[in-house]
A and B are shown apart, each in its own frame.
Chain A
């Protein structure tokens, strides 16, 4: 049976994906918004002016990678849950990805998890590093988890 595959290539918003140079410098937003949806809260919330949607509001968000501090304010506000923050320099071996998480139970800091790619396929083992409680962001929790750097562009979630 033919399955929808989001894969690596098809699913990147090319204009917004930070350069590898920028990624190597530390926390930065990864915006995986690839369709002309009339939507712009990411632009409104960014106090550094790092995300631009402009007119019409169906334009894809454009990330100014120099202005982006990786603060993560845009993660929970995105109705498409399509924004993540990547910290490539988390440790020597691992990078850290912060994702919006709206399920129960919430994972616990230190817990080991199975990291999945955009299609829900198992990639590698990872570890929960930080959980920002859902109440802080209108019921969207932010979960940061660490996994080997080489999968920085593959892993996008973990097994519930």
Chain B
């Protein structure tokens, strides 16, 4: 069986940054990612990121991705692509299907940075071709460079729904509208403004009743809702579309953390069940760390910082050294990002996670 100091599962922004930080501190690192190219969500994100200079603000996601890949390569981090980690067993043995073959790897430490999955939304005919996740659509247009539809209805006005709508316009599609069941949009107004000024309507207090089509989507029926979110059926309206994108949130992808025996808590603002962890990103199972969206849905900028924090913490344990200053700087950058209407709630949830970690570890 192969043995490694540190195995990182998931090579998105969190995993890559963790690898870079740990490698720089002299740790042997292996990244396992199921794709043919690492980078996670970053390569789909062709828009400029918010933040400050330290967060690489104003730089497009895929450009950040290229930078990280270059650094990973220069540092000689080992990367297994086309490799799915399917299980974590006793003594940190990881089961991996690499290029179709089963391999076991034993790790001193593991960082789990598997990201998130898109939430589905069911309505009549939602399984027909022509209904897909907004992230899936983003993958199609920005990675595969194929338009999955020409006239699009977006469900959900969070930042993902708004940004993907804008990217659909950039890809040459027509976005006939964004529907949002709440009386106000879920994402930032600036993202809404980007599509509104080019004529994309955003319908509030409105939902989708059903997709229309026999074997493929040909239209959709949308309908306003009352204060109790009940559709006002007599006001329903048919619109012709060939693609319906669902952007109703993400859920942390954390099966491996469950399997490893980590303790969990529910945090609505972070997307659901998340593993408890301490201020070093270590979970309740010693030497298993977590970082990025799978420890709570946030942003690439925070995923990268959490990754660095986890990477350095692993190095501290293995090398028996301390890099408190460096870690404090990272924590400061995280705090700098977790402010504002959206960030504040996530910050409180994150603080609760750390608090609950200590309470539960004590009583365990």
Contacts and interface: CB of A to CB of B under 8 A. Distances in A.
Interface string A1-18: 111101000010000000
B1 interface: no
B336 A79 contact: no
B90 interface: no
B204 A80 contact: no
Given A36-B341, A38-B336, A2 B204 contact: yes
Contacts of A98: none
Interface in B325-345: 336-341, 343
Nearest to B47: A79
B60 A82 contact: no
Given A38-B343, A56-B336, A82-B190, A77 B58 contact: yes
B205 A2 contact: yes
Contact of A6 (B189, B204, B224): B189
Interface string B199-243: 111111110000000000000001010000000000101000000
B199 A116 contact: yes
A116 B195 CA distance: 12
A79 B340 CA distance: 16
B52 to A, nearest CB: 5
Contacts of A1: 203, 206, 222, 224, 235, 237
B194 A81 contact: yes
A103 B200 CA distance: 15
A119 B196 contact: yes
Contact of A37 (B48, B172, B205, B340): B340
Nearest to B187: A35
A4 B157 CA distance: 11
B196 A4 contact: yes
A4 B192 contact: yes
Interface stretch (A125-133, A143-151, A152-160): A152-160
Contact of B343 (A33, A58, A102, A120): A58
B170 interface: yes
A46 interface: no
Interface string B30-57: 0000000000000000011111110001
Interface string B156-185: 010000000000011010000000100111
A58 B339 contact: yes
B155 to A, nearest CB: 14
Given A2-B206, A58-B340, A118 B193 contact: yes
Contact of A79 (B53, B58, B205, B206): B58
Interface centre among B59, B196, B237 (most CB of A within 10 A): B196
Contacts of B267: none
B228 to A, nearest CB: 16
Contacts of B170: 102-104
Given A3-B202, A79-B57, A37 B188 contact: yes
A4 B190 contact: no
A57 to B, nearest CB: 5
A32 to B, nearest CB: 7
Nearest to B341: A36
Contacts of A56: 336, 339
B364 interface: no
Contacts of A19: none
A113 interface: no
Contacts of A79: 47-50, 57-58
20 contacts: A1-B206, A4-B202, A4-B203, A6-B189, A6-B192, A36-B340, A37-B50, A39-B52, A39-B57, A40-B52, A44-B57, A56-B339, A78-B58, A80-B190, A81-B194, A82-B190, A118-B197, A138-B59, A139-B60, A159-B199
Interface of A: 1-4, 6, 11, 32-41, 44-45, 56-58, 77-82, 102-104, 116-120, 138-139, 156-157, 159-160
Given A35-B188, A79-B48, A80-B188, 9 more contacts: A1-B222, A4-B180, A40-B52, A41-B51, A44-B53, A80-B194, A103-B169, A118-B197, A120-B199
